Amino acid sequence: MQLGSLARWMKRDIPVWEGELFTSSVSGVGRDVVFIHGLAASPECWEDAAPSLPGIRVHAIHMRGFAGLAPSAFRSPMNFLKPVADALAGYIRSLRVGPAPVVGHSMGGLVALMLARDHADVVDRLMVVDVPAFFSMLITPFATATSMAPLAQHSRRSYLEKSKAQHHDDTRRTSEKLVTRPDLLERVVRWGLTSDRAATADVMAEVMVTDLRGDMQRIKAPVDVIYAWDRVSPASKMSLDQVYASSYAGLVQGRRQRIDDARHYVMLDKPDAFYGAVNAWLAQ
């Protein structure tokens, strides 16, 4: 974490809302916007949101089980995303501010899509960050939920069976693919290592078989999609563009934008470009 960002993070007076599946930390003053982190990640990924978005009140969701927060006793295997989306709907209604803009990164993007699909009254607009509506399209363009089920369960078992040393090494290797800067890498590694391993394995498997492509026409709120490309990516710009165009083809309204020279944590790698896109999205 950069010193300026660390100072902002430590000095904030943040009221915290406690729920069964997540907590919410609030910073800034103005229009309410909800930010949802991804798998084995932390709401710290949104640390630049409040200072980069004047007139915005940031609600940073922290899902239980990730980045040092103990897992919920109410979590059931392969059934996490939808309950979180339903609980978020209740949280937004409790704010009594009307429909709110929602930003979701990675697994949080899938939660946000479910939220908009099932609770249209609470979502003003949606921004999905670096995840197709069916994550497994990034593994193979021919994926289906049925074909991916065996791999999902194999991945779940393998994740749980690793020794502590293997888990540490694999978390670091995986994290190197998610962010470009070495100083940011250590934070992403920490988030992964302090996430509950069983919760991470279960939700990872659930994400791999969650296909929301057929639900796009049920989402009436505008949906903007931001995704990242970097030279180390196994996909070319053209093929990645095709994945996202195909994945979100059924959307009623919204735009897609690729941010280059950034990896999965695009909001950390390219904060100016990312929050510039968020500002433009909020101004629509």
List pLDDT tens digits, range 215-230: 999 999 999 999 999 9
Give me the pLDDT at residue 24, please. Answer: 97
Domain segments of the chain as ranges: 3-283
Instruction: Grade residue 14 by pLDDT with cuts at 50, 70 and 90.
Output: low
Report long-range pairs for 83-86 (Cβ below 8 Å, ≥24 apart).
83/21, 84/21, 84/22, 84/111, 85/111, 85/112, 85/114, 85/115, 85/118, 85/119, 86/118, 86/119
Answer for the pair 65, 75: CB distance below 8 angstroms, yes or no: yes
pTM score over 0.85:
yes
Tell me the sheet residues that pair with 133: none
Alpha carbon 23 to its chain centroid, in Å, reads 15
Closest CA to 78 of 232, 212, 205: 205
What gap in Å lies between CA 190 and CA 227, rounded to an integer? 23
Give me the pLDDT at residue 206, please. Answer: 98
Give me the pLDDT at residue 252, please. Answer: 85
Strand order of the β-sheet with 123-129 is 16-18, 22-27, 56-63, 31-36, 100-105, 123-129, 223-229, 256-260
HEC readout, 15-29: CEEECCCEEEEEECC
Instruction: Grade residue 15 by pLDDT with cuts at 50, 70 and 90.
Output: low
Instruction: Grade residue 30 by pLDDT with cuts at 50, 70 and 90.
Output: very high
Instruction: Grade residue 13 by pLDDT with cuts at 50, 70 and 90.
Output: very low
191-230 b/e with 16+ CB inside 10 Å = b?
A: bbbebbbebbbbbbbbbbbbbbeeebeebebbbbbbbbbb
What gap in Å lies between CA 121 and CA 124, rounded to an integer? 8
What gap in Å lies between CA 27 and CA 14, rounded to an integer? 6
Q: What percent of the chain has pLDDT over 90?
A: 90
**What's the pLDDT tens digit per position in 116-142?**
999 999 999 999 999 999 999 999 999
Instruction: Give the three-class secondary structure for 128.
Output: strand
Amino acid at 12: R
Other Cβ atoms closer than 10 A to 146: 9
The residue-averaged pLDDT of 67-89 equals 95
User: Please, what is the average pLDDT of the chain?
Assistant: 94
Answer for the pair 91, 219: CB distance below 8 angstroms, yes or no: no
- Specify whether domain 3-283 bears CATH 3.40.50.1820: yes
**Helix residue ranges, H only, the chain:** 3-11, 49-52, 81-95, 107-118, 145-161, 164-176, 182-193, 197-208, 237-247, 266-269, 271-283
Answer for the pair 257, 156: CB distance below 8 angstroms, yes or no: no
Q: 57-61, 75-79, 169-173, 272-276: which has the minimum mean pLDDT?
A: 75-79
